Amino acid sequence: MSELKGETPFTNPGLPPHRPRRADEDPKAARRAEFQAVGLLVVSILGTVGAVLAYLFLPLSGSNGDIRRMTALMGAGIFLGMIGIGMGAIHWAKTLMRDHEMVEERHPIRSSDDTREEAVQMLKDGVEDSGVGVGRRGLLKGTMLTALAIAPLSVAIPMIGNLGGDWNVGQIKHTMWRKGMRLTRDPEGTPIKAADVTIGSVFHVIPEGLAETPDPLEEKAKAVVLLIRLDPRDLNVVPGREDWSFDGIVAYSKICTHVGCPVALYEQQTHHLLCPCHQSTFDVANGCKVIFGPAKRPLPQLPITVDSEGYIVAQRDFDEPVGPSFWERLK
Amino acid sequence: MHSLASRRYHRSAPLVLVLALLALITVAYAFFASAPARADEGFTDAQVAGGQKLFAANCATCHGLNAEGSSFAPSLVGVGAAAVDFQVGTGRMPMQASGPQAQAKKPQFSQAEIDQLAAFVASLGTGPSVPTAEQVDGSLGDPAAGMELFRTNCAMCHGSVGGGGALTEGKFAPSLFNTTPTHIYEAMLTGPQSMPVFNNANISPESKRDIIAYLEEQRDEPPGGLTLGSLGPVSEGLWAWIVGVGLIIGITVWVGSRSS
Amino acid sequence: MSKVTRAANSTASFVDDRTSIGGFVKFFSRKLFPDHWSFLLGEVALYSFIVLLITGVFMTGYFIPSAEQTVYDGSFATMQGVEMSQAFQSTLHLSFDVRGGLLIRQIHHWSALMFTAAIMMHMLRVFFTGAFRKPRDINWLVGFGLLTLSLAAGFSGYSLPDDVLSGNGLRILDGVVKSIPVLGTRISYWMFGGEFPGDALIPRLYTLHVLLVPAAILGLVGLHLFLVFLHKHTQYPGGGRTHKNVVGLPLFPVYVAKAGGFFFVVFGVLTLLGALMTINPIWNYGPYDPSPVSAGAQPDWYMLFLEGALRLTPGFLDFSIGGWDVPMNVLLPGVLLPGIIFTLQAIYPFVEAWATGDRGERHVLDRPRNVPVRTSIGAALIAFYAVLMLAGSNDILATTFHMSINTLTNTFRVLIFVLPIAAFWVTKRVCFGLQRKDRELALHGHETGRIVRTESGEYIEVHQPLSEQELWLAVGHDNLTPIEIEPKTNERGVKRPGYRWDRFRQALSRFYYEDRVEPVTPAELAAAADEHH
Give the mean pLDDT of C472-481: 86
Residue B65, min C-alpha distance to chain A (Å) = 24
Whether C1 shows a pLDDT value over 80: the answer reads: no
pLDDT at B37: 37
DSSP state of A54: H
In a 10 Å sphere around its CB, with 0-12 CB exposed, 13-18 middle and 19+ buried, how is residue B242 labelled? exposed
Query: What predicted TM-score, i.e. pTM, was given to this entire model?
Result: 0.91
Examine residue A291 and state whether it is found in any structural domain, yes or no.
Answer: yes
Spell out a b/e string for C33-71, using b for 16 or more CB atoms within 10 Å of the CB, else e: bbbbebbbbbbbbbbbbebbeebbebbeebbbbbbeebe
pLDDT at C60: 97
Q: Given CA atoms C308, C313, C315, C320 in this order, what sign does their dihedral have?
A: negative
DSSP state of C253: I
Does B15 contact chain C (CB < 8 Å)? no
Q: What is the pLDDT of residues A218-231, one digit of tens each?
A: 999 999 999 999 99
- Cβ B260–A21 below 8 Å, yes or no? yes
pLDDT at B43: 83
Least confident of C123-137, C309-323, C461-475, C486-500: C486-500
Does A37 contact chain B (CB < 8 Å)? no
Give the mean pLDDT of C445-468: 89
In a 10 Å sphere around its CB, with 0-12 CB exposed, 13-18 middle and 19+ buried, how is residue A317 labelled? buried
For residue B149, what are the domain limits?
A: 131-224
* Secondary structure (H, E, C), C330-359: HHHHHHHHHHHHHHHHHHHHHHHHHHHCCC
DSSP state of B245: I
- Cβ A267–B258 below 8 Å, yes or no? no
Letter for the amino acid at C155? F
pLDDT at B35: 39
For residue A79, what are the domain limits?
A: 22-95
DSSP state of C266: H
Give the 3-state secondary structure of residue B173: strand
Instruction: Enumerate the domain spans of chain C.
Output: 41-366
Whether C426 shows a pLDDT value over 80: the answer reads: yes
Whether C96 shows a pLDDT value over 50: the answer reads: yes
Q: What is the pLDDT of residues B97-153, one digit of tens each?
A: 888 888 888 998 999 999 999 999 999 888 899 999 999 999 999 999 999 999 999
CATH class in words for C41-366: mainly alpha
Confidence of residue A3 (pLDDT cuts 50, 70, 90): low
CATH number at residue B191: 1.10.760.10
Give the mean pLDDT of A161-176: 91
Torsion of the alpha carbons at B224, B228, B229 and B231, rounded to the nearest 10: -90
pLDDT at B30: 60
Does C322 contact chain A (CB < 8 Å)? no
The residue that leads in pLDDT, A140 or C384, is: C384
Give the mean pLDDT of A201-226: 94
Q: Are residues A65 and A193 in the same domain?
A: no
| Percent of chain C residues past pLDDT 70, beyond the cut | 100
Examine residue A150 and state whether it is found in any structural domain, yes or no.
Answer: no
pLDDT at C131: 95
- Mean model confidence pLDDT for chain C: 92
Q: What is the pLDDT of residues C218-266, one digit of tens each?
A: 999 999 999 998 998 999 998 888 888 899 999 888 899 999 999 999 9
B3 backbone dihedrals φ, ψ, rounded to 5° = -70, 160
Q: Are residues B108 and B167 in the same domain?
A: no
| CA proximity to C193, closest of C181, C203, C179, C180 | C203
In angstroms, the CA B131 to CA B85 distance is 10
Q: What is the pLDDT of residues B236-252, one digit of tens each?
A: 999 999 999 999 999 99
Preferred mutation among C91, C93, C164, C301 to probe B, highest tally of B CBs within 10 A: C301
Give the mean pLDDT of B70-88: 90
Note whether B181 and C414 are within 8 A (CB). Answer: no
Residue A50 with chain C: CB contacts under 8 Å: none
Q: Are residues B55 and B114 in the same domain?
A: yes
Strands A272-274 and C83-85: unpaired
- Cβ C37–B257 below 8 Å, yes or no? yes
Residue A24, min C-alpha distance to chain B (Å) = 10
Residue B221, min C-alpha distance to chain A (Å) = 6
Q: How many residues appear in chain C?
A: 533
Examine residue B157 and state whether it is found in any structural domain, yes or no.
Answer: yes
Whether A2 shows a pLDDT value over 50: the answer reads: no
Whether B36 shows a pLDDT value over 50: the answer reads: no
Residue A23 with chain B: CB contacts under 8 Å: 259
* Secondary structure (H, E, C), B53-69: HHHHHHCHHHHCCCCCC
Q: What is the pLDDT of residues C512-522, one digit of tens each?
A: 998 888 888 88
Q: Are residues B148 and B204 in the same domain?
A: yes
pLDDT at A289: 94
Q: Are residues B183 and B102 in the same domain?
A: no
Q: What is the pLDDT of residues B186-212, one digit of tens each?
A: 999 999 999 999 999 999 999 999 999
Confidence of residue A78 (pLDDT cuts 50, 70, 90): very high
| Contact partners, residue B212, CB within 8 Å, separation at least 6 | B136, B138, B141, B146, B181, B184, B185
Q: Are residues B120 and B155 in the same domain?
A: no
pLDDT at C93: 94
| Percent of chain C residues past pLDDT 90, beyond the cut | 71
In angstroms, the CA A287 to CA A273 distance is 11
Examine residue A275 and state whether it is found in any structural domain, yes or no.
Answer: yes
| Contact partners, residue C407, CB within 8 Å, separation at least 6 | B170
B82, B98, B128 - which closes a domain: B128
Domain count for chain A, please give it. 2
Q: Are residues B144 and B217 in the same domain?
A: yes
* Secondary structure (H, E, C), C163-215: EHHHHHHHHHHHHHHHCCCCCHHHHHHHHHCCCCCCCCHHHHHHHHHHHHHHH
Examine residue B172 and state whether it is found in any structural domain, yes or no.
Answer: yes
Q: What is the pLDDT of residues B153-166, one digit of tens each?
A: 999 999 999 988 99
Whether B32 shows a pLDDT value over 70: the answer reads: no
Domain count for chain B, please give it. 2
Helix (H) or strand (E) holding A226: strand A225-229
Whether A207 shows a pLDDT value over 60: the answer reads: yes
User: Could you tell me which residues are beta bridge partners of residue A262?
Assistant: A255
Examine residue A259 and state whether it is found in any structural domain, yes or no.
Answer: yes
Find the residue in C nearest to B221 (Cα): C278
A44, A67, A95 - which closes a domain: A95
| CA proximity to C99, closest of A309, B242, B20, A55 | A55
C-alpha separations of C420 from A37, A182, B108, C6, C346 in Å: 47, 54, 49, 65, 20
Examine residue A324 and state whether it is found in any structural domain, yes or no.
Answer: no
Least confident of A319-323, C121-125, C347-351, C355-359: C355-359
Whether C448 shows a pLDDT value over 50: the answer reads: yes
| Contact partners, residue A83, CB within 8 Å, separation at least 6 | A44, A47, C264, C265, C267, C268, C269, C272
List all chains that touch chain A, counting a touch as 3 or more CB pairs closer than 8 Å. B, C
Q: Are residues B56 and B104 in the same domain?
A: yes
List all chains that touch chain B, counting a touch as 3 or more CB pairs closer than 8 Å. A, C
pLDDT at B1: 53
Give the mean pLDDT of C456-484: 87
The residue that leads in pLDDT, A109 or A43, is: A43
Q: Are residues B106 and B155 in the same domain?
A: no
Note whether C409 and C429 are within 8 A (CB). Answer: no
C-alpha separations of C291 from A290, B191, C185, C423 in Å: 21, 21, 22, 42
Strands (E), B154-216: 165-166, 172-173
CATH number at residue A279: 2.102.10.10
Strands (E), A77-222: 102-105, 183-185, 202-207
List all chains that touch chain C, counting a touch as 3 or more CB pairs closer than 8 Å. A, B
C213 backbone dihedrals φ, ψ, rounded to 5° = -70, -45
C249 backbone dihedrals φ, ψ, rounded to 5° = -120, 155
Note whether B93 and B87 are within 8 A (CB). Answer: yes
- Cβ A62–C97 below 8 Å, yes or no? yes
User: Could you tell me which residues are beta bridge partners of residue C459?
Assistant: C453
pLDDT at C532: 67
Note whether A231 and A262 are within 8 A (CB). Answer: no
Q: What is the pLDDT of residues B160-193, one digit of tens each?
A: 999 889 999 989 999 999 999 999 999 999 999 9
Strands (E), B120-216: 165-166, 172-173
